[in-house]
Structures are given as structure tokens and as C-alpha cells.
């Protein structure tokens, strides 16, 4: 079964601290993995996709196929990073649909 698991519902850190939002997936094959972010009162937007191996707003995520993980990391959190973060999976040849994790609320305190 396809599944995305984000074990932390809430992650609270102080400004300047490192942050890691965990994501594990279950999929029999090679999926595409994404991180989406939803700031307060805004729509969901793409943050990162594993295939492009980029760093956006200081965030990076590495796909670890052995551990079936795609954790999101940032070395120094900023207050403006406070938001809901969703890890998502897209399977091959499945019409493009995304399977989302439960989401992790990141709160960065001053």
C-alpha cells in the first residue's frame, strides 16, 4: 500500500536552531517525493521535489531509498518558516495523483 508518514504533528524550535521534519514512505517502486508548505491563511505550495535536488529557502531534503525516507532539513530556522509542512508521494503511472502525509506544524519561536 502507498503511504506517507509524518510522525510529528507539531515541532517547536527556537529561531536559529536546526530543524528536521521527518517523512517516511511506503511504495513498491520508485516514487517521486515532494515537500509542500502551507503558511497561515495561504494556499498549499510546492517547496521541494526530490528529483531536482535543490535548496529552497534554506531547506533541503534527500531521498533515502534504503530507509524509505525523505526528511526535510534546515540548519538555522527562521520565524517565517512557521507553517504546516506536508510530505507527498507520487507513484509512477498513476495519473499524477499525490498521496499526502498527515502534516507537521513547525513553530519557530523568537
Partner 1 sequence: GAVVSQHPSRVICKSGTSVKIECRSLDFQATTMFWYRQFPKQSLMLMATSNEGSKATYEQGVEKDKFLINHASLTLSTLTVTSAHPEDSSFYICSATRQGGIYNEQFFGPGTRLTVL
Which residues here bind partner 1, judged by CB under 8 A? 9, 42-46, 49, 51-52, 84, 86, 95-103, 105
Is 2 or 69 the residue whose CB approaches partner 1 more closely?
A: 2
Is 3 or 16 the residue whose CB approaches partner 1 more closely?
A: 3
As to burial, measured by CB atoms within 10 angstroms (0-12 exposed, 13-18 middle, 19+ buried), residue 72 is buried
Is 43 or 66 the residue whose CB approaches partner 1 more closely?
A: 43
* Cα dihedral 54, 58, 64, 68 sign: negative
Backbone dihedral angles phi then psi of residue 65, each to the nearest 5 degrees: -70, -30
Least distance from C-beta 75 to partner 1, angstroms? 26
Least distance from C-beta 43 to partner 1, angstroms? 5
Amino acid at each position: 500500500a502507498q503511504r506517507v508518514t509524518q510522525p510529528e504533528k507539531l515541532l517547536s524550535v527556537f529561531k536559529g536552531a536546526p530543524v528536521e521534519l521527518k517523512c517516511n514512505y511506503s511504495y513498491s517502486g520508485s516514487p517521486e517525493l515532494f515537500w509542500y508548505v502551507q503558511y497561515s491563511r495561504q494556499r498549499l505550495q510546492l517547496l521541494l521535489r526530490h528529483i531536482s535536488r535543490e535548496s529552497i529557502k534554506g531547506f533541503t531534503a534527500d531521498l533515502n531509498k534504503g530507509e524509505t525516507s525523505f526528511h526535510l532539513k534546515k540548519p538555522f530556522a527562521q520565524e517565517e518558516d512557521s507553517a504546516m509542512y506536508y510530505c507527498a508521494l507520487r507513484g509512477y503511472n498513476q495519473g499524477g495523483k499525490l498521496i499526502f502525509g498527515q502534516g507537521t506544524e513547525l513553530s519557530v519561536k523568537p
